[in-house]
């Protein structure tokens, strides 16, 4: 994951069957913003890997949206950044 966050301007980290990562990806796609998606299992598996990510980032839910290597929050946080124009400033 560290390599992806360092390599791509926008990274969405999520899990299968969770609607919030899908929302974040849809917002980015509709805005024409390229992003990299990392999926860490589903509700039924890979919980240890997800818990490690939660501990590492301090962010309790998915998705985790990174912009230029910085965690900016989840889907609703991303939506607010997009509506306010702050996301474009961060991508600068």
Q: What is the pLDDT of residue 76?
A: 97
Omega into 63 within 30° of 0, i.e. cis?
Answer: yes
DSSP result, 9-39: SEEEEE-TT-HHHHHHHHHHHHTT---EEEE
The class level of CATH for 2-74 reads alpha beta
User: What's the pTM value of the predicted model, to 2 decimals?
Assistant: 0.94
pLDDT digit string, tens, across residues 4-60: 999 999 999 999 999 999 999 999 999 999 999 999 999 889 999 999 999 999 999
What does the domain layout of the chain look like in residue ranges?
Answer: 2-74
> Is 12:24 a contact under the CB 8 Å cutoff?
yes
Neighbours of 44 (CB within 10 A): 8
Q: What six digits make up the tokens of 59? A: 């962010």
Band of pLDDT at residue 1, cut at 50, 70 and 90? confident
């Amino acid at each position: 994951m560290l390599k992806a966050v360092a390599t791509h301007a926008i990274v969405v980290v999520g899990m299968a069957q969770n609607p919030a990562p899908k929302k974040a990806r849809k917002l980015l796609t509709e805005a024409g913003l390229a992003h990299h998606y990392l999926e860490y299992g589903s509700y039924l598996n890979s919980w240890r890997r997800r818990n490690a990510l939660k501990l590492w980032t301090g962010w309790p839910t998915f998705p985790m949206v990174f912009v230029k290597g910085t965690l900016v929050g989840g889907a609703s946080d991303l939506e607010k950044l997009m509506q306010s124009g702050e996301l474009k400033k961060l991508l600068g």
